[in-house]
Amino acid sequence: MASVETVGVVGAGVMGRGVTIALRQAGFSVILVDRTEEILEGVQRTIAQDARLYTLLSPKTAITGDEVLAGTRLHTDLDAVAKADLVIENATERFTVKRPIYQRLGELVAPGTPIGVNTSAIPITRLGGLTGRPEDVIGTHFMNPVPLKPTVEVIRGRRTSEETIGRMREFVDALGKKSVLVNDSPGFVTNRVMMLTVNEAVFLLHEGVGTAEDIDRLFVECFGHTMGPLETADLIGLDTVLLSIEVLHDEFKDSKYRPCPLLTSMVDAGLHGRKSGRGFFDYEGRGK
């Protein structure tokens, strides 16, 4: 698209890395920011592994870790995104983590620069309000793994401008993806349903109604889903699932969103799914 060449990516976890690889596949330059040098060193290794995996699964968009990193500048200072033409924020799913980022982004990037919020459930309107320029802030809910998923849920905050919506949808097109536009509501369309389903599947396991394998098999073999809800939770990260369901619980004040105690306990135990090597299933030795 016309003016976007460099994209600022905030947060280099599961989503920030996936977004970075997808951006590099589409030829954009990236400024990738996370909190510490140590995290950024780990990110370089993980990006190389991820790029190999995505190349294997989708040879048409083959890219090497070196090609991703050659066009990616890594920083620990958020101010590095000041020169970006567009920003995608992917920091931890906690309002207290995102709040200072949005306050600073509002001061940093040039007015009119679209700021995409990649959150699972936090209202876009609330984050937009922190910037002092809510018209530039828009939800861009990428699906995981980003390089393999064809569609992005784009969310119109209450004050997002039509121009920002148009520019972001054009950008998503340039990434080779489609967009579906919805209005702001906690969890949007996808996660309001998805997080409940995942949490309910954890309750089924907690209550001994079925094993993890059998619960997931029913979704795959009876409903034709690519993976069951528990494997999906492992892919998302159980810490992120818990934070997301807690956001929905806080926002709607509805007990249907109370997190299953087994989910909380697994997060306490460091069983975060694929990214930690174990969750409902074991990933040790089979790549993450």
Binding site for ligand NAD (CB under 6 A): 10-16, 33-35, 39, 78, 90-93, 97, 101, 118-120, 141-142, 144, 236-237, 240, 244
Residue (76 or 265) nearer to ligand NAD, CB: 76
Residue (91 or 124) nearer to ligand NAD, CB: 91
- Tell me, what amino acid is at 67? E
Residue (90 or 161) nearer to ligand NAD, CB: 90
Structural contact between residues 9 and 23, judged by C-beta atoms closer than 8 angstroms: yes
Virtual torsion, Cα 70, 76, 79, 84, nearest 10 deg: 20
Beta strands in the chain (DSSP E): 6-10, 29-33, 72-75, 86-89, 115-117, 137-141, 151-156, 178-183
Shortest distance, position 145 Cβ to ligand NAD, whole Å:
8
- The arrangement of strands across the sheet holding 137-141 comes to 72-75, 29-33, 6-10, 86-89, 115-117, 137-141, 151-156, 178-183
**Residue ranges in 59-211 assigned as alpha helix (H):** 65-70, 95-108, 124-131, 162-174, 190-206
- Tell me, what amino acid is at 37? E
CA distances from residue 42 to 47, 74, 281 in whole angstroms, order as listed:
9, 12, 23
Residue (35 or 210) nearer to ligand NAD, CB: 35
What residue is closest to ligand NAD based on CB? 13
Q: Tokens 């699932």 label which residue?
A: 241
Residue (210 or 225) nearer to ligand NAD, CB: 225
Residue (34 or 216) nearer to ligand NAD, CB: 34
Shortest distance, position 275 Cβ to ligand NAD, whole Å:
6
